[in-house]
Copies of this chain bind each other. A is one copy, B any other.
Amino acid sequence: MKRKVIITVFVITCLLSLNAFALNGLVDTDGKLEKVETSKYMGDTLWVLVAAFLVFFMQAGFAMVESGFTRAKNAVNILMKNLMDFSMGSVAYWAIGFAIMFGAGNAFMGTSGWFVPSESLAEGAATDTSVFSALEWSSVPTYAAWLFQLVFAATAATIVSGAMAERTQFKSYLIYSIFITGIIYPVVGHWIWGGGWLADVGVSDFAGSTVVHSTGGWLALTGAIVLGPRIGKYDGDGNPRPIAGHNLPLAALGVFILWLGWFGFNPGSQMGADAGPISHIAITTNLAAATGAILAMITAWLILGKPDAGMALNGALAGLVAITAGCAFVSPVSAAIIGALGGIVVVLSVLLFEKLRIDDPVGAISVHGTCGALGTILLGFFHEIGDTALGVFFGGGFGFLWAQIVGVVAVFVWCLVTGFILFYGIKAATGLRVTEEEEQAGLDYEEHGASAYPDFNVSSMR
């Protein structure tokens, strides 16, 4: 009797155990675990794509800022530039840029992954880690990473056009867009984000104060130098004269769009939907923009006597550029300080470049070049995060600060050298600047046979 009971119970136990095991084997290991991974994969991809869309929209922001801050007679030209640099950049970055930046290669550049090899559409097709091992830390599909990185590359190219506005040939603009998005920017990106030599040095640039903004800003500097100032920017004694932008509402709209886009730029650079970090980054980004705008307004008020709108708008951008390197690594207090310093420095930088007879119609060199470098170095001081928690000020020590300085200088040198080669090369080959008559008449009529505002009496006598 007893034995029979024991055996019966035993058999039931076996069945239950097998059942439990089967459930585990079937549902857990093969089914649910995969589904849970899929959820994370889904969330990460969703986040990266939404962020990429926001960064794409920054093209509209740049278009509005750059046309708003310049004269009506050149507005069509600037809008066309913005449209075409993104279009040309989309193709160039596809063909070679992404491969140079993230493809397997050497310390200088990637040498594989041209035209971004096709991948399966099947769910679960994550980053191809054999070619793009530099991106294997992010779980999103290669195509999502490509789109996100593409809109960054286009940002770097767009920055340049602002400083070169109102006097550059349309044709030469098309040429340099390809070189910047296809080669010059991706090489910098490879150095810091693609496993290149500056990554080995230990340079930290979370979302691209240096990689994107300084690169754009320093290339803009070389372009502005090679071009020379606009006619009428300096009087006979060499003193700068203000050339006000023709449409402040457009410029303000552009700054709001850029601020919005930065919520993709910085939190998106996490390249995953990690709730804590992306919330933290969104906060530091916003605070730096706010203090940048406030401090730039105050600085301008003190120096120029009025709360200048252009300076305040550029101050918000300066704060955003400055926090971009460290948005994930500093506390809100530090972010507020970094943004504020960006706001002060951008006003001084604009006035300095103006004195140096480097004519930058929209302040792109100061906003992106100067404040990008500033933010990267400030991260050396304000880095507060160990592995998981805030709290340690100057957390990286002198070695980290030194690495940041090396990164800033290296990118500065690279951009100056390649920028001068590029712009002098274009100047020699096809000409870089329009004729004096074209510049006086406005580029819209001469280059595009159009007027931005044909129903209005637009003064072209400025």
Binding site for B on A (CB under 8 A): 6-7, 9-10, 13-14, 16-21, 23-24, 27-29, 32-33, 35-36, 38-47, 49-50, 52-54, 56-57, 59-60, 63-64, 67-68, 71-73, 75-76, 79-80, 82-84, 86-88, 90-91, 94, 115-116, 118-125, 140-144, 146-147, 150, 170, 244-250, 252-253, 255-257, 259-260, 263-264, 267, 273-280, 282-283, 286-287, 289-291, 293-294, 297, 304-310, 312-313, 316, 328, 331-333, 336, 385, 388-391, 447-460, 462
Contacts and interface: CB of A to CB of B under 8 A. Distances in A.
Q: Is the interface of A mostly helix, strand, loop or mixed?
A: helix
Contacts of A267: 49
Contacts of A82: 252
A2 to B, nearest CB: 10
A173 to B, nearest CB: 10
A340 to B, nearest CB: 10
A123 B286 contact: no
A143 to B, nearest CB: 4
22 contacts: A17-B20, A36-B36, A53-B263, A60-B253, A72-B456, A75-B249, A79-B249, A80-B297, A83-B255, A84-B312, A91-B294, A94-B336, A121-B277, A121-B390, A125-B276, A147-B286, A244-B454, A247-B453, A248-B451, A306-B448, A306-B450, A455-B460
Contacts of A7: 6
Given A79-B248, A147-B286, 10 more contacts: A23-B24, A38-B40, A39-B43, A87-B290, A123-B275, A141-B279, A144-B282, A245-B454, A248-B451, A249-B250
A33 to B, nearest CB: 7
A309 B249 contact: no
A87 B273 CA distance: 27
B60 A256 contact: yes
Contact of A307 (B10, B39, B143, B447): B447
Contact of A53 (B54, B279, B291): B54
A1 to B, nearest CB: 14
Contact of A17 (B16, B90, B140): B16
A260 B57 contact: yes
Nearest to A445: B306
A79 B309 contact: yes
Contacts of A63: 249, 252-253, 256
Contacts of A125: 276
Given A57-B256, A282-B147, A289 B250 contact: no
Residue of A49, A142, A291, A293 with most chain B CB atoms under a 10 A cut-off: A49
A437 to B, nearest CB: 17
A453 B246 contact: yes
Contacts of A44: 275
